Structure 1
Amino acid sequence: MTRLVKCVKLGIETEGLDSPPFPGEKGQEIYEKISKAAWQAWLSKQTMIINENKLASFDPKARAYLAEERNKFLFEGNDEMPAGYVPPKA
């Protein structure tokens, strides 16, 4: 059975995640308030941020930065591209 959530990112009721994306309070909050579609959008943006800023996932500073950007994207409506982002040529 599909679980519906009122997605704070998209502003609509839609399909929720199957489980929290990671352990802890923030993972539970995302599970309760963010849709599958919004989470997938975040994963794409996260990849872009990692690549544009040449971040290492094991670096604690990079992880903190990504957590901050995730919160801005999912809960604060920030859809800005990373600094220095150049869209790919068609």
Structure 2
Amino acid sequence: QTLVDEINRDKMQANAELENAKPALIAAEEALQTITPLDIAVVRKLGRPPRLIRQMMDCVLILFGRSLKNPIRFDPELQGAEPSWESSLKV
């Protein structure tokens, strides 16, 4: 019974966290729907876009279920993963 109670508490907590996250998810989905083919074309024309745009395009790749650069490499200048810009151009 203790295990069942613990599982129910975890379930209630997970459901509460899910409800708190839903507004952000809905806002992100709505924002994604505002991206037009023209927006993508403008980004593609950038030779080497600013770091933030390259990192945001990694997020777009993930949202569209596309693969990031493999293998993911650390970029010391960015203090993080090197963006998958080449993959972004294929979106």
With normalisation by structure 1, the TM-score equals: 0.27
Q: Give the number of the structure whose residues are more often helix, by fraction.
A: 2
Q: Which one has the largest radius of gyration?
A: 2
Structure showing greater relative contact order (alpha-carbon pairs closer than 8 Å, 6 or more residues apart) = 1
